[in-house]
A = this chain, B = another copy of it.
């Protein structure tokens, strides 16, 4: 007998940004697996077991959830944001590809969520209003020069760029390196958004420019959006500025 595995996106942090589909999957699950702080966001339920994991144990988390579902249980594996964007869905698919053939029979349901880039963009205005690229700055599985090349190619082609995992204790210099790389391509007055914990009580959002931006204020939970030549800022009295990107006649290169 084979059960079901929901891979559920919790959204960026505000419980109101959870979808109805995600709430239903969490209500149905007999067991919930995930990074500890994500499980802590969920109200306890009788007859539902909780299986917290460390941040770095992604394959182990996916494997444990798949094994439990294979035994016939309804299991939820949770991710912050959307599970398909630098989160658990790809890890689960990769484990299924490499694991026992029986895992392919598991009823796998991936439940999308609001990813951080969309939540931050909504709070700032509409910086992703034209073509955009989403890129992780984590060099755990990719050498930094390859990341920097990709970043520069996106900016050169006119994409707005959203960075996930911009920095960590092990690589505090990367966000500054990314900003410096983009400063060789984009104007110094290009708008840049730094956002942390959007939708949570300790939310922080700041709007600056590429010429003034520095990586010191960021951490692993920061999401950074760097505009394109078509990104504009509107000041508003007594409110934060609106940042938005208009879809206009594009240039292939500056």
List A residues at the B interface (Cβ < 8 Å): 9, 11, 14-21, 23-24, 82-86, 89-90, 92-94, 96-97, 104-105, 108, 110-115, 118-119, 121-123, 125-136, 141-143, 145-147, 149-150, 153-154, 156-159, 232, 234-239, 242, 244-252
**Complex contacts, A21 vs chain B, CB 8 Å:** 14, 16-17
Q: Chain A interface mostly helix, strand, loop or mixed?
A: mixed
Q: Identify A142's interface contact among B132, B239, B248, CB under 8 A.
A: B248
**Complex contacts, A9 vs chain B, CB 8 Å:** 122
CB proximity of A68 to chain B, nearest CB, Å: 19
Q: Identify A248's interface contact among B141, B235, B251, CB under 8 A.
A: B141
Q: Is the CB of B17 within 8 A of A112?
A: yes
15 CB contacts below 8 A, A to B, read A9-B122, A11-B19, A18-B19, A84-B118, A84-B122, A92-B126, A104-B236, A112-B118, A114-B114, A133-B154, A142-B248, A146-B250, A146-B252, A150-B157, A153-B154
**Complex contacts, A18 vs chain B, CB 8 Å:** 19-20
Q: Is the CB of B24 within 8 A of A16?
A: yes
Q: Is the CB of B89 within 8 A of A126?
A: yes
CB proximity of A19 to chain B, nearest CB, Å: 5
